[in-house]
Amino acid sequence: MLKKYGINNIPSAKLTSTDIDKLRNQFNVTEQPSNNRVLLMAYCAGENSLQMAGLTHQKLKQYKCELFFANNKMFIDGDTLTHYFNGNTSSSEYIDIEHVGALMRPYEIAEELIKCFHLSGQPRVYSDACTAGMVALYSAYLTIKSGRRNIALVGASEEATHPIMQILFKKVRALYDGKFTELNQSSRAFDKDRAGCVLADASAFLVVENYAHAIGRKAKILAEIAGMSRQSEGYKMTSTDLSGKYYLNSMSSALKDAELLPEDIDHISSHGTSTVNNDLAESKAINALFPHQPPVISTKSAMGHSLAVSGLLETILSIETLNNNQLLPSLNFSELGKIDGLIHVNKAAKALRVKHILSNSFGFGGENSSLILKRAEG
């Protein structure tokens, strides 16, 4: 199927059958959830986050915890999907488009997670392309900040290596073009030799909680959300203004929400997709807003682009930086592209104590979100 669209031997970080078996064994998954990879990854990542947070399913029910979930709709394999859409209407095997559509609704996955974790109410589901995970986090942040809930489970799960996703990225010239033969050299955010996204399957979950509620149950607080932003730029479906003005607005709004100045930011975890459009616009925006040049990284250089999951995954890695006083490297970077904004890309892991980290998520459709994390007090 992929070869038909010119996608041949393009590297991606795909979850293998062996990986699936390891997840099932590690989390003792038998019949539920089903063989659906997106659901299985979500269940395992969710359970892991609950264990780290010291929460049981019973406690989640007691606290009336809500689910905020992100995914971009592809759950069935490419061959099956092709078979459904090419079906002969006179055949008993024909399945109409409404049935196929039902198989791809993120809400179905979220409802299963509600049952698995014994959560309250209806799930809130987001499909805002590469920004979806961060939008889910932003919604949970506003819900808790308003006092409507004290605790939320925020997660995303994505089979980003799905053939349909690869074809879509190929069509908009954002997929890695095979310039380098080694997988570990492929994703090169902000580098002069960048060659497109390397897609990756992933899932990530966070427990987000009111500060007083967390203290009350004696939880270990890993980081605080100082501020967030979410904006829809309405420029173009598949790209942003190359001046970076919309990305700059997103970061400025997060600073305003956090009541911080640009110089208060010690480190930036960029969206950094290794595409010309994103890297050019984001580097220009960072250069314009942060003249003190805080170190910038792209975790996608190591982990690939997991679409809806990427923002939450990068949030978790930023939390690790805050707690371990260790700055992660941006891999495969040698020097900036000639027309990129001047930024300081961190090339090697190093010890660094930081107080505030800014993390960006920018997606197709003009959905932008920025998050500022603060080192936990005490």
**Residues 208 and 230 grouped into a single domain:** no
**Residues 70 and 192 grouped into a single domain:** yes
**Residues 7 and 123 grouped into a single domain:** yes
**Residues 210 and 229 grouped into a single domain:** no
Q: Decide if 116 is catalytic.
A: no
pLDDT (0 to 100) of residue 89: 44
pLDDT at 378 over 90: no
In which domain, by residue range, is 83 found?
3-216
- More confident site: 24 or 359: 359
Tokens describing residue 355:
């107080």
Neighbours of 263 (CB within 10 A): 10
pLDDT (0 to 100) of residue 80: 60
**Residues 53 and 150 grouped into a single domain:** yes
Split at pLDDT 50, 70, 90, the class of 191 is very high
Q: Work out the end-to-end distance of the chain between its first and last CA atoms, rounded to an integer number of angstroms.
A: 54
Q: CA-CA distance, 162 to 37, in Å (whole number)?
A: 11
Specify the number of domains making up the chain.
2
Split at pLDDT 50, 70, 90, the class of 238 is confident
Choose one of 199, 216, 233: the last residue of a domain. 216
**Residues 185 and 298 grouped into a single domain:** no
Choose one of 181, 199, 216: the last residue of a domain. 216
Written as one letter, the residue type at 288 is A
Cα Rg for the chain, rounded, in angstroms? 20
Q: Where are the beta strands (DSSP E) in 233-364?
A: 267-269, 296-297, 326-327, 350-351, 356-363
**Residues 327 and 229 grouped into a single domain:** yes
Looking up residue 258, the CATH number of its domain turns out to be 3.40.47.10
**Residues 196 and 238 grouped into a single domain:** no
- More confident site: 100 or 166: 166
Tokens describing residue 268:
């930036």
pLDDT (0 to 100) of residue 365: 80
Tokens describing residue 35:
């063989």
Q: Decide if 305 is catalytic.
A: yes
As to burial, measured by CB atoms within 10 angstroms (0-12 exposed, 13-18 middle, 19+ buried), residue 99 is: exposed
Catalytic residue among 162, 267, 305, 356: 305
Q: CA-CA distance, 327 to 330, in Å (whole number)?
A: 10
- pTM of the complete model: 0.91
Split at pLDDT 50, 70, 90, the class of 176 is confident
Per-residue pLDDT reduced to its tens digit, 332-374: 999 999 899 999 999 999 999 999 999 999 998 889 999 999 9
Neighbours of 373 (CB within 10 A): 26
pLDDT (0 to 100) of residue 99: 53
pLDDT at 223 over 80: yes
Of 9-13, 74-78, 250-254, minimum mean pLDDT range: 74-78
pLDDT (0 to 100) of residue 104: 60
pLDDT (0 to 100) of residue 366: 86
The C-alpha angle 139, 13, 281, rounded to 5 degrees, equals: 55
Tokens describing residue 42:
């979500």
**Residues 144 and 61 grouped into a single domain:** yes
Give the C-alpha distances (Å, rounded to integers) separating 318 from 87, 197, 207, 368.
Answer: 47, 21, 15, 18
Is the distance from CB of 75 to CB of 94 less than 8 angstroms? Answer: no
Catalytic residue among 65, 162, 267, 271: 271
Share of the chain above pLDDT 90, in %: 64
pLDDT at 79 over 70: no
Is the distance from CB of 36 to CB of 95 less than 8 angstroms? Answer: no
Q: For residues 189-215, give the mean pLDDT.
A: 94
Catalytic residue among 44, 65, 130, 197: 130
**Residues 166 and 101 grouped into a single domain:** yes
Q: Decide if 271 is catalytic.
A: yes
Q: CA-CA distance, 84 to 191, in Å (whole number)?
A: 41
Which residue, chain included where needed, has tokens 């010890």?
351
**Residues 151 and 274 grouped into a single domain:** no
Split at pLDDT 50, 70, 90, the class of 297 is very high
Choose one of 200, 216, 232: the last residue of a domain. 216
**Please, which contacts does 324-328 make with residues 24 or more away whose CB atoms are closer than 8 Å?**
325/351, 325/352, 325/353, 325/354, 326/350, 326/351, 326/352, 327/267, 327/295, 327/297, 327/351, 327/352, 327/354, 328/297, 328/299, 328/302
**Residues 229 and 247 grouped into a single domain:** yes
Residues 6+ apart with CB under 8 A from 324: none
Give the C-alpha distances (Å, rounded to integers) separating 137 from 88, 153, 206, 314.
Answer: 43, 9, 9, 12
